[in-house]
Amino acid sequence: MRITVGKGSCGIAAGAAEIFNILKDAGVPAVVTGCIGMCYLEPIVNVDDRTFVRVTPDAAREILKFIRGEENGAEQYAIPQEDLDNLSVQHRIALANCGIIDPENIAEYIAREGYAAAKKCIAAMSPEDVIAEMKASGLGGRGGAGFSTGLKWSFARAEKGDKKYLICNADEGDPGAFMDRAVIEGDPHNLIEGMIIGAYAIGSDEVPIAMEGIVYVRAEYPLAIIRLEQALGQARERGMLGKNIFGSDFSFDIRIKAGAGAFVCGEETALIASLEGERGMPRLKPPFPAQKGYWKKPSNINNVETYANVPWILRNGGAAFAAMGTENSKGTKVFALTGKVAKGGLAEVPMGKTLRDVIYGVGGGIKNGREFKAVQMGGPSGGCIPAELIDTQIDYRTLAATGAIMGSGGMVVMDETTCMVDMARFFLDFTCKESCGKCIHCRIGNRRMLEILERICAGDGREGDIELLSDLAEQIKAGSLCQLGMTAPNPVLTTLRYFRNEYEDHIHNKKCTAHQCKPLLTYAIDPEKCTGCTLCARKCPGKAIAGEVKKVHVIDMDKCTKCGKCSEVCRFGAVVVD
Amino acid sequence: MTCNCAENKSWKFSDPEIDIALLEPTLEKYGDVAGSLITVLQKAQELYGYLPVDLQAYIACRLGVKPAKVMGVVTFYTQFRTKPVGKNLILLCQGTACHVNGSSGIEQAIREFLGTEEGEITADGLFTYNNVACLGCCSLSPVMMIGDKTYGNLTKDKAVKILKEIAAEG
């Protein structure tokens, strides 16, 4: 009997550690797995082919009885069929083992064809063959740009030198994306194997080249760092890392570097500066990292998800990967579904599916039966795609045409209670904090845009603000060195394009229809509903509510600070917000 | 002018809690390794909780770089702090998903409960809260992290209840 408990960061936060301990204390040999991607159902316990979800300590005790074959009430915690169906919509390559195998045990990875691809490459393929296979797969960089991985590898291979670096960008700073964390926590050997193959393709030569691998992980992911460290140790013990891998002439090892928290370090040259112990500021390209990267040596940088696709491609052939997807975007892509979606989590689907397939097919639509308004893709560099474009096909070009980008695959779903002007303000606030300050347009231009958005949200929007925003946006795009600056105005541009009426409402009518911008709201008490319970008057911090017991209360708008406390505490829905 | 800080055993730090001997193994290990500044700073912060200016200057001397460079790196990365924090550091996620699901309300509740602004220590020394960009647990938003533990699906009441429980433990 195989019993597993999902112990990714999300599972643990939902209480999986306690569940695991209950099983363990009862003498059940439970195995730890990573995240299966159905975060909304955590904690999840599997007993052979039975899946139990939202497992509470009480549920765990029922599952214990089930395991022992006693009479039990575990059935009520069994996964509903419709949630199982969500998995069948997906096609898992990068996430194939996540939530299935024990990430802390290399034997389980090997049992699922693990390290077979690396072994095959080193034993039977030339580096050129490997790169040709990668080119044939059509795999594009999953960090967001979608640039051909095979081509990128060929550039780093073409460079001469005695030392080369293979770097993995695991600085997943894009708010709303967490697939890289899931891969490292749930299937770290998949990443390691992908990196071994990459290192072999780039650095194996008759003239020995010293190859070194570095994984740059966010410090905010402590569990990922622990699991990866463990996995690296196990791979070394088995001769899959270190000197003479698989008994060949090829040597390669990987070390971890914990990032110190800077979104801009997702940019290649900034990441390299950070690895060298400097402020993570991007520099002009060329020279590209493939020519002069870490310590001025040829360096190849790929994202976690990119490497995680590599072993599958080498096992099944580039053509099999390229058979999935669309003309310009091959294979599958992992999306992180969050926000107002009913079933948040990770979904890996073939390129070419529509946004509807993911948001409704996998995500189960919108929480609490509300209306879908928009989906934000690509984080601070991306944009908001409105409800009318929900049938947009997911591929790099089609998404770019909407003004958003694929990015790393974050999908933050929004409903009618999300204010789009506030969203734009939110992202600009983020970019201003994360701008490294090198380029004037990014450093000062974004600050000015943020000030305009803040005043619009505060009810002080002026005539001409929309034009000013558009003008600044174009200049920032043109005047910034790196992608952070060049794409920073995108959230503003897309919301202006699709939700201009909301900006106009804020500026001209001083109204926020989503009821998010507090200074624009008015509060009133509905005399029909008010029972005179006095709760709102007692809770009002500004003493702006007057009224006697069992009599209708009234809000004095001159004193009201618009904190919203009254509508929060009213049990009769008598506070009308407009 | 030459620097003799390593020999200068009487190097005094403004914070008497700082036992510089604890950092010695790290400095030994990384002192001569190029590009180790961030790693050394991370270790120092792990040991002392924060990086006061005189500690930065000491590290600069030992690594053979200018204090201005150390300060440049410390102020660039959000992980580094120049002020001490409370016993429990609350990292409140302000990522997109958390924002959409009401993290600003959670912040308000935490601020009211603690009676401090972001980055300050509570009078009892127990808490400091900081807003952070994204903790990568978006499907459980709104989320906060205290120590190594992540708390998800927060409401204002739930967040305050968690803090009360931690406070009760001391």
Q: Which residues of B touch A13 (CB under 8 A)?
A: 137, 140, 143, 149-152
- Annotated domain spans of chain A: 3-79, 106-321, 332-415, 420-508, 522-577
Amino acid A227 reads R
In percent, how much of chain A has pLDDT > 70? 100
A430-467, pLDDT tens digit by residue?
999 999 999 999 999 999 999 999 999 999 999 999 99
Interface test with B, best of A38, A42, A278 (most B CBs within 10 A): A278
A470-504, pLDDT tens digit by residue?
999 999 999 999 999 999 999 999 999 999 999 99
Architecture of A332-415 per CATH?
A: Roll (3.10)
Distance between CA atoms of residues A229 and A256, nearest Å: 7
Exposure b/e, B88-113, CB count within 10 A at least 16 = b: bbbbbbbbbbbbbbbbbbbbebbeeb
Model confidence band, residue A562 (pLDDT cutoffs 50, 70, 90): confident
Distance between CA atoms of residues B147 and A557, nearest Å: 43
- In 3-state terms, what secondary structure has residue A546? strand
Question: Which CATH number applies to A522-577?
Answer: 3.30.70.20
A137-148, pLDDT tens digit by residue?
999 999 888 999
Distance between CA atoms of residues A216 and A172, nearest Å: 10
Residues 6+ apart with CB under 8 A from B16: none
CB A110 within 8 A of CB A246: no
Residues 6+ apart with CB under 8 A from A286: none
Q: What is the mean pLDDT of chain A?
A: 95
Q: Is the CATH number 3.40.50.11540 carried by domain B88-169?
A: no
ipTM comes to 0.92
B20-76 topology per CATH = Arc Repressor Mutant, subunit A (1.10.10)
Q: What is the dihedral of CA B15, B16, B21, B24, to 10 degrees?
A: 0
The length of chain A is 578
Phi-psi region of A383 (alpha: psi -120 to 50; beta: other; left: phi over 0): beta
**Nearest-CA distance from B44 to chain A in Å?**
13
Does any CB of chain A come closer than 8 Å to the CB of residue B155?
Answer: no
Does any CB of chain A come closer than 8 Å to the CB of residue B73?
Answer: yes
Per the listing, tokens 């603000």 go with A465
Per the listing, tokens 């050129």 go with A128
CB A418 within 8 A of CB A366: no
| pLDDT of amino acid A86 | 81
Q: Which residues of A touch B41 (CB under 8 A)?
A: 260
Question: Average pLDDT of A324-340?
Answer: 95
Query: Which CATH number among 1.20.1440.230, 1.10.1040.10, 1.10.4000.10, 3.40.630.10 corresponds to the domain A420-508?
Result: 1.20.1440.230
Q: Is the CATH number 3.10.520.10 carried by domain A106-321?
A: no
- Annotated domain spans of chain B: 20-76, 88-169
Question: Average pLDDT of B98-112?
Answer: 93
**Nearest-CA distance from B96 to chain A in Å?**
6
Residues 6+ apart with CB under 8 A from A314: A117, A118, A120, A121, A130, A133, A197
Distance between CA atoms of residues A38 and A45, nearest Å: 12
A3-79 topology per CATH = Glutaredoxin (3.40.30)
**Nearest-CA distance from A177 to chain B in Å?**
6
CB A503 within 8 A of CB A520: no
Phi, psi of A19 (to 5 degrees): -65, -45
Task: Determine if the pTM surpasses 0.80.
Answer: yes
- The verdict on a CB contact (< 8 Å) between A262 and B77 is yes
Sequential DSSP letters for B4-22: -TTT-TT---SSTT--GGG
Which residue of A lies nearest to B70 if distances are taken between CA atoms? Answer: A278
